[in-house]
Structure 1
């Protein structure tokens, strides 16, 4: 009979192996350069959408929402 810590250890090990396989498969399929470009584009989109949201909230509320939440 396996102890609970051994089961947890095996589960974690399996999960890490699956994640590593997934990462390797993605990097082989798309290449690191393409992934870096995709992540850069996604970061730009997020930054723009957050700025637009903050601007809309600032126009609605009297106090500056962005100043409070960017600490």
Structure 2
């Protein structure tokens, strides 16, 4: 499918189902942290919210570069 999400956005449905928050809620939380670096944000999601590495990385990649990724 040409319009199917790719990259980090392809993880979003699973992230929402597994962790009980919408992607917009996760992005709001990321924006509210004092962290600005990729690794620090991934670590924060993993330690503070129990998120797996792949899901945390997908959210952070999107958060730091939203214009690069299509979102359904």
With the shorter chain as reference, the TM-score category is: under 0.3
Q: Give the greater-gyration-radius structure (CA).
A: 1
Q: Which protein has the bigger helix share?
A: 1
> Scaled by the length of structure 2, what TM-score is found?
0.27
> Scaled by the length of structure 1, what TM-score is found?
0.27
Q: Larger RCO: Structure 1 or Structure 2 (Cα < 8 Å, ≥ 6 residues apart)? A: 2
